[in-house]
Amino acid sequence: MSFCQLGSCRFFDGAKAVFSIVFLPFLPFFLSLHEEEFCYAKNMDVIAFIKQISLLLYIVVVATTMVVVMMENRQPMKTVAWLMILMFLPVVGMVLYFFFGQNIRKERYINRHRLQPFLRPRLRKGSKGEARQEIVPQQHARIMQLFANQDDALPVADNEVETYTCGNEFFPALLQAIREARHHVHLCTYIFLDDALGQQVADALMAKAREGVEVRVIYDDVGSWRVSSSFFRRMQDAGVEVHAFMPVHFPALTRKINYRNHRKICVVDGHTGFIGGMNIAQRYMDGTPTMGAWRDTHLRVKGGCVATLQRIFFEDLYFVSHTLPDTSAYYPTVVPTAGGASCVAQVVTSSPTSAWHNIMQGYVRILLEARHYVYMETPYFLPTEPVLVAMRTAALSGVDVRLMLPYRGDSRIAEWASRSFLPDVIKAGVKVYLYQGGFLHSKLLVSDDSICTCGSTNIDFRSFENNFEANIFFYGKDVARRMKHIYLEDEQRSVRINHWLRKRRLPFVERFLQSLFRLFSPML
């Protein structure tokens, strides 16, 4: 095995190879030791001997891991972060890499389960709603071409959009759509909890399955790891086709925890779709005692873009089951809205298997093309370098860039790391707001009253590079102004961080923790 081949191995393959290279050549030497040398070995301090061997083995494994990390050719910042963790956090660093750091983008597991290229025309052929491409405003032609080239996401017209800003608005609409289903219900979610809301949704799905409606559910096994398998088995017994995305039976957890299906989409009868940031959990209805109300954004869409949501679901279905039904029956003909009053949209995905970081590049393009303003909401702000540079560039160019984060995060480590990025963007002129009306879980962006996006994507490394995500991008004044209105209403419940900092001088320990956990931002 050549050195380059060794570097490109998976971690355990590389470790075993190095062990063989380092220790097997010395096997004849150990077997040929003289009798007196064995006697000397017996008289050695056994504990000291074990310590020395353990240390040697650990050094070999760490060195091998560092070679593997370097030869994966990640972004330099991520590579340096992992090298520092492996070097300066003995044992703990190896555990962190073991669970979170292994880059399996091109590994056999994902490549074996992803939709094969020769099957894509089959989905495209059935996706009648995507056949119509519209002439769009010149200022957005480039970004639409970007998505079409990198994600095969065609712009489609004849879309109607309804927005929901809390679970009490969204879940009744979702349940009503499920109850009205006549042919199929396709649901993909990151979290599907066995609580009051989860049981209500499950009951609705099981009722439709008993009526003969095709019901398919994909849930993420990490996002729903606390849920008993009996909850999903009950749905299966009722006729619901249920699949866990990349099950995490140990030791598979160590290889797959970094690559999760974070999408939240639902398609009913091929003509109604839902996409956004809400999982199926009671906290979206009632909030939590510690965080308060959960503020999120979800959308119901009708029109051509539903066909794209359907295609995305079938790609995920193939990933988890290696089966693909005759998809032509799931794409009804799109009926244009009365009077032609509709917007143009693109549904864009990103995943570890993507050649490009599709959604991240869309964010960068919007920031750099903005002329007046860009407003963004995200629960986690751990930006990649391209997004960070684009935000600073836009703000320094005179664009009104605003960023809204939760006043209090649901993860202290992620919150500390997030805060470390804020002085840099504030210095460039970005206005940062902290939402105080509960926990802000919304993921939206709107710019110049003409383009906006909403979906499952956070502004962080994990969403942009490691997870399976889905966002919908709209081109048109009506939807953009509605998104702008949502943002400005949230801003009324927020405090500008400049004012917040004046009232709250950060102690040294907190500033140190922010800088420390910033090093972990590619892993959070």
Pairwise CA distance, residues 411 & 148, whole Å: 36
441 is catalytic: yes
Catalytic residue among 271, 302, 431, 441: 441
For Cα atoms 273, 265, 206, give the angle at the middle one, nearest 5 degrees.
85
**Within 10 A of 168 (CB to CB), how many other CB atoms are there?**
12
128 secondary structure, DSSP code: G
Catalytic residue among 448, 460, 484, 490: 448
264 is catalytic: yes
**Within 10 A of 2 (CB to CB), how many other CB atoms are there?**
7
346 close to 155: Cβ distance less than 8 angstroms: yes
CA atoms within 13 A on the CB side of 336: 9
439 close to 410: Cβ distance less than 8 angstroms: yes
Catalytic residue among 140, 186, 256, 264: 264
Catalytic residue among 262, 271, 298, 357: 262
262 is catalytic: yes
Q: Which two tokens stand for residue 1?
A: 């095995």
Angle formed by the axes of helices 141-151 and 358-369, to 10°? 170
Pairwise CA distance, residues 379 & 404, whole Å: 8
269 is catalytic: yes
C-alpha distances in Å from residue 65, one per residue of 86, 97, 119, 223: 8, 9, 36, 28
Closest alpha carbon to 169 in 308, 293, 309, 344: 293
In 32-139, which ranges are continuous DSSP H helix?
Answer: 35-43, 46-71, 76-88, 92-96, 108-113, 120-126
Catalytic residue among 443, 460, 484, 490: 443
List active site positions.
262, 264, 269, 441, 443, 448
